[in-house]
Every structure is written in structure tokens, then in C-alpha cells.
Amino acid sequence: MALAHLSIVPLGTGSTSLSPFVAACEKELQLHGEGLKYELTAMGTIIEGDLDRILTVIRRLHEVPFEAGAVRVSTSIRIDDRRDKKGSIDQKVQSVKEKL
């Protein structure tokens, strides 16, 4: 089980609005993200699950802006992979909140 933070940004599209591209990626994630948990935030999408499945779905999501007409895409991925303990989206946030 790993967590990943994902941001996919098309460059040179002529519009400053990214939400159509983000929505298209979210739809693809809904279609192909079986077994994964995900959460949309204002700065990206957090995905929780098996790392190989996460990377497979990210590879697919990276194509979405190209399919929508973009010719340059900048994709940022940050993986947090912890193997001494089960980490999850809920547990990580909870663990901090308990200390506040």
C-alpha cells in the first residue's frame, strides 16, 4: 500500500483554465481506478493503493490531456511508500490531528 500525489498539467493550450483537463482525468480514474482510493484536492489528486496499480493508472491518466488535444504535458508524481506500517489517506491525516 502506497500513497501518491498526482498533478497533470497541459502546457501551451491557450487557456488558463485547467479544470476540463482535471475533470477528464478524474473520469478516467473513476473508470480504471478499481481497487484504488482517491481524493481530489485543489492542488492535485491523492491516490492510495497498490503501487503498481497506482503507476499503471497514472500512466493512463497522463495520456488524457493528449487525447484532449494538448501536445505537451507536465506530470508530477510524489510517492509515499511506507512498509513498516500500513499508511492510508485517512490514517495519515488522523495521526496529525490527534497531535494537535
Q: Which residues in this chain contact its own copies in the complex, by CB under 8 A?
A: 3, 5, 7, 9, 11-20, 22-23, 26-27, 39-44, 46, 48, 51-52, 55, 59, 62, 66, 71-85, 88-90, 92-93, 95-100
Rounded to the nearest whole angstrom, what is the least distance from the CB of residue 31 to its own copies in the complex? Answer: 12
Contact call for residues 2 and 86 (beta carbons, < 8 A): no
Nearer to its own copies, 34 or 55 (CB): 55
Query: What gap in Å lies between CA 2 and CA 51, rounded to an integer?
Result: 6
Query: What gap in Å lies between CA 13 and CA 100, rounded to an integer?
Result: 42
